[in-house]
Amino acid sequence: TSNKTHVDERLLEICKLLEKHVDHYNWVGFYFRNGNKEELKLGPYVGAPTDHTIIPFGKGICGQVAVSNQNFVVPDVNAQDNYIACSITVKAEIVIPIFVNGANIGQIDIDSNTPDPFTKEDERFLEFVTQKVSEILS
Ligand code: SME
């Protein structure tokens, strides 16, 4: 198998583990910068299929993180103007950027069906996960 296939399998395993073991993680996926384009492309994920396989930089929560390089915790997605809905069951979202050699190359995106579920502990934990992902990608 190619290296990309192997990496994608490992990333999918991470999605499955997170979704299975954390009750308030209901959709877990990766978006990565699509080549040199100013857009994100959907990578491995678990949860309901989404139409949003390509997201332009700046659009939605994910597109904003591509530009800001910051964690984005959204306690209530319905209070956001710049939000792309994937499923009407989603109440909250957290997006953590992934850095390789200092460059923002993508992100982990998690949707929750529970309102306001994400704590600082989620942020620290998911930063640990993205650091591991960065090592897988390096
Ligand atoms: N809600 C995201 C789009 C991706 S879906 O959550 C899978 C956003 O606003 O960028």
Which residue among 83, 94, 95, 118 has the greatest number of ligand 1 atoms within 8 angstroms of its CB, and so is best to mutate? 83
Alpha helices (runs of H) in 22-119, residue ranges in sequence order: 60-68
pLDDT higher than threshold 70 for residue 128: yes
Whole-complex ipTM: 0.96
Does 111 sit in the ligand 1 pocket, CB within 6 Å? Answer: yes
CATH of the domain at 123: 3.30.450.40
Give the number of domains in the chain: 1
Task: Give dist(CA 88, CA 76) in Å, integer.
Answer: 12
For residue 64, give the ligand 1 atom closest to its CA: 10
Beta carbons of 119 and 97 less than 8 angstroms apart: no
pLDDT higher than threshold 70 for residue 1: no
Computed over its alpha carbons, how large is the radius of gyration of the chain?
Answer: 14
Query: 2 pLDDT band (50/70/90 cuts)?
Result: confident
**Pairing outcome for strands 92-100 and 54-56:** unpaired
Does 41 sit in the ligand 1 pocket, CB within 6 Å? Answer: no
Full domain range(s) for residue 119: 3-137
Exposure string over 59-84, b if 16+ CB within 10 A, otherwise e? bbbbbbbbeeeebbbbeebeebeebb
Does 122 sit in the ligand 1 pocket, CB within 6 Å? Answer: no
